[in-house]
């Protein structure tokens, strides 16, 4: 018997957790349980990122996704989960149709994933005990300097490997604009009905509005 392959064992553990909780998100109708299952599934995916050797992306996944995005979603669930909205049933016909389409899609994707023989088993790593840190090179790439492929022999290809400074800036501005827009959209309204447009001006606030 071969030696115990810890990478494989932890891969199966995290893969089972991720897939199982993802299926749990689909099959349950309770919105609170869906949120809990989604947190567990995203955490297991972060474990898979660590196993793939990309520890910085795994840490970002844990902090931004599980720590930030899921807090946002759970707040949305808490703000809206009352009465009939906690558990909403889906019709049987929709389930049958979705299962057929989803099963066909899964069959195609799995067949594609296992169709390339070079992807089945990893190539043997030459420097076994040399885990390269990825955070520094990743940060430099985001700043526009690529230091990870300097040894590439072809100078033409080496010239094309610029960094990600422009994409980084665009995404930063995008995030700021989206968050400001979200804060503007989600501010609390007092009336439940649709408000007439044009009457909500800020020019003359009524007395007592400042104490709100």
182 binds other proteins (CB under 8 A): yes
Token look-up 């994707």 returns: 109
Binding string, residues 61-100; x marks residues near other proteins by CB under 8 A: x--xx--xx--xx-xxx-xx----x--xxx---xx--xx-
State the minimum distance, in angstroms, from the CB of residue 208 to other proteins: 22
**Ranges within 6-35 binding other proteins (CB under 8 A):** 7-9, 11-12, 15, 18-19, 22-23, 25-26, 31, 34-35
Which of 1, 129, 156, 204 lies at the binding interface for other proteins (CB under 8 A)? 1
Please answer whether residues 65 and 44 qualify as being in contact, where contact means their C-beta atoms are separated by less than 8 angstroms.
no
CA atoms of 47 and 10, how far apart (whole Å): 9
Helices (H), the chain: 6-27, 31-51, 55-60, 70-80, 92-113, 135-142, 155-159, 165-185
Does position 150 interact with other proteins (CB under 8 A)? The reply is: no
Question: According to CB under 8 A, which one of 129, 143, 144, 146 is a site residue for other proteins?
Answer: 146
Distance from C-alpha of 142 to C-alpha of 92, rounded to nearest angstrom: 48
Q: Which of 133, 160, 194, 208 binds other proteins (CB under 8 A)?
A: 194
Q: How far apart are CA 19 and CA 198, in angstroms?
A: 49
- d(CA 212, CA 201) in angstroms, rounded, equals 17
Tell me the Ramachandran region of residue 116: left when phi exceeds 0, alpha when psi lies from -120 to 50, beta otherwise: beta
CB closer to other proteins out of 151 and 206: 151
Q: Is 162 in the site for other proteins (CB under 8 A)?
A: no
Work out how close the CB of 162 gets to other proteins at its nearest, in angstroms, rounded to a whole number.
11
51 in Cβ contact with 11 (< 8 Å):
yes
Among 40, 113, 199, 203, binds other proteins (CB under 8 A): 113
Kindly tell me which residue out of 40, 47, 48, 209 binds other proteins, with binding defined by CB under 8 A: 48
> Is 114 within 8 Å of 120 (Cβ atoms)?
yes
| Residue 56 is a binding residue for other proteins (CB under 8 A) | yes
Quick one: which of 129, 132, 156, 197 contacts other proteins (CB under 8 A)?
132
Size of the residue set binding other proteins (CB under 8 A): 98
Residue 173 within binding range of other proteins, rule CB under 8 A: no
Contact (Cβ atoms closer than 8 angstroms) between residue 65 and residue 46: yes
């Amino acid at each position: 018997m071969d030696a115990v392959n810890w990478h494989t064992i932890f891969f199966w553990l995290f893969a089972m957790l991720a897939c199982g909780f993802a299926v749990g998100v689909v099959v349950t109708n309770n919105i609170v349980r869906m949120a809990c299952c989604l947190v567990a599934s995203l955490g297991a995916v972060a474990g898979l990122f660590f196993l793939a050797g990309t520890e910085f992306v795994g840490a970002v996944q844990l902090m931004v996704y599980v720590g930030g995005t899921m807090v946002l979603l759970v707040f949305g669930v808490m703000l809206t989960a009352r009465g009939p909205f906690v558990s909403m049933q889906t019709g049987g016909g929709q389930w049958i149709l979705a299962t057929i389409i989803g099963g066909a899609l899964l069959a195609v994707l799995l067949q594609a994933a296992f169709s390339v023989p070079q992807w089945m088993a990893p190539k043997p790593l030459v420097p076994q005990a040399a885990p390269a840190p990825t955070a520094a090179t990743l940060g430099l790439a985001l700043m526009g300097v690529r230091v990870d492929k300097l040894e590439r022999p072809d100078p033409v290809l080496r010239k094309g490997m610029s960094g990600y400074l422009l994409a980084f800036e665009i995404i930063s501005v995008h995030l700021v604009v989206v968050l400001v827009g979200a804060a503007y959209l989600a501010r609390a309204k007092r009336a439940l009905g649709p408000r007439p447009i044009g009457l909500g001006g800020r020019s003359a606030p009524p007395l007592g509005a400042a104490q709100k």
